[in-house]
Amino acid sequence: MAQLRQEHDQFLAQDAQILVVGPEDAEAFRQYFTEHDLPYPGLPDPKHTVLKLYGQEIKLFKLGRMPAQVLVDKQGMARFVHYGRSMSDITPNAEILALVEQMEQMEGGRE
């Protein structure tokens, strides 16, 4: 999540919003976000509702939920999904930002 904080302004400049979903309850989530000064919203998912919706894996021997990144367009359609195989298997911000830019260009061409 720290990598997202470092380039949060670049996401905002491309009119992209970051949302982090985690398995903690609301209080634990609030504490973590406050402690780490995270500038984007977080959604507590202690019942794994979102996890199940997007098919995110849980691997008990690898510290729980594996990373999952989903890029959703303004119409609510998932345009990119990456399921990590380990806690460090995360798509670089530059790649996500390039995908956001491609989506913008495609959407701009429709109008």
Mean of all residue pLDDT scores within the chain: 85
Q: Can you give the pLDDT at residue 52?
A: 83
User: In this structure, are residues 41 and 20 in contact, taking their beta carbons and an 8 Å threshold?
Assistant: yes
Q: Can you give the pLDDT at residue 44?
A: 92
Asked whether residue 111 carries a pLDDT value surpassing 50, the answer given is no
pTM (2 decimals)?
0.78
- Residue ranges covered by each domain of the chain: 2-110
Torsion of CA 42, 47, 52, 53, to 10 degrees: -60
Give pLDDT tens digits for 50-74: 888 887 776 666 566 778 899 988 8
- Tell me which CATH code domain 2-110 carries: 3.40.30.10
Asked whether residue 49 carries a pLDDT value surpassing 80, the answer given is yes
Asked whether residue 13 carries a pLDDT value surpassing 60, the answer given is yes
